Each structure stands twice: as structure tokens, then as C-alpha cells.
Amino acid sequence: METPKISKISQAFNKFSNAVTKATGTPAAFAIAFSVIIIWAVTGPLFKFSDTWQLVINTSTTIITFLMVFVIQQSQNKDTLALQLKLNELIASEKNASNRLIDIEDLTPEELAVLKRFYVELATLAKKESDIHASHSIDEAQERHEEKLEGRD
């Protein structure tokens, strides 16, 4: 499998995103942001609580928030993909796991709802077991579901 080419802009943004996400998620970053707000509030009487004084904080926080959305989303997308790949590896490596769950994130909400019903059924089966270590498969849930449907006729 060939490694895809990543543009220099994407590489730079990824590095920037990682650095900003790590830096802004620290107590020091919170302390700095909090201090800026306190300084702004304390200078209110100095500027007579003018419209310009209010505009400074409003504009600053809006710009920072707008830019942080993109930085955080980049980081979140990467983390989510990494987590999905790790879970896919676990599913693929476990012989009793259903490979139908690999790439489940690409299913529609309706398809996910169908799968959720199977897992609700599995949970119901597990609750009935006296042995907490008993295991059930998604196929067993389907078989039992079909048996119930046949019993309705």
C-alpha cells in the first residue's frame, strides 16, 4: 500500500494544529485567558466602559473562537480516524468478532439504528445469563430475533 502524498500546507497545518491544541489545553493557557479577561474588566472604568472597550473583547474573542474551531476540528478529525483504525484492527484481529463492524462509521443513521437493535438484543441475552463471562454473537441475536418473529405467526 502506497503512502499518500500530503501537501506541505497540510503538513504545516497539522503540526500547527497539534501544537495549538496541546498548548491551549493546559492550565497555563486557561490562566492566561482568564487574566486577559480580568485585565479587560479592570480597565473598564479607565475607558469609561465605552463601546470601543467592549468591541475590543468582543472582536478578539470572536476571532479567536472562529480560528480555534478549525484548529480543534483538525485535531479531532485526526484523533477520531486514529481511534477508528485502532478499533478496526481489534475487530479484524479477533476471530469471533463480526467484521461487519469494520468501517461502521460510514453507515447511514438508519443502518446504525438496525445494528443498535442487535446489540440491544445481545445485552438482553447477556442479562439473562447466570455466568457473567458468557459471550454471545451478533448472529445469535439475529437468530433469536427471527425465532421471535416466527413465533408471532
pTM of this structure? 0.63
pLDDT score of 8: 93
pLDDT above 70: residue 81: yes
Least confident of 23-27, 51-55, 115-119: 115-119
Q: Give residue limits of the domains in the chain.
A: 8-93, 107-151
**Which residue would you say has higher pLDDT here, 130 or 27?**
27
pLDDT score of 26: 95
CB 21 within 8 A of CB 71: yes
**CA 71 to CA 17: how far, in whole Å?**
5
Q: Convert the pLDDT of each residue in 123-149 to its tens digit.
A: 887 777 766 666 666 677 677 667 766
pLDDT above 60: residue 153: no
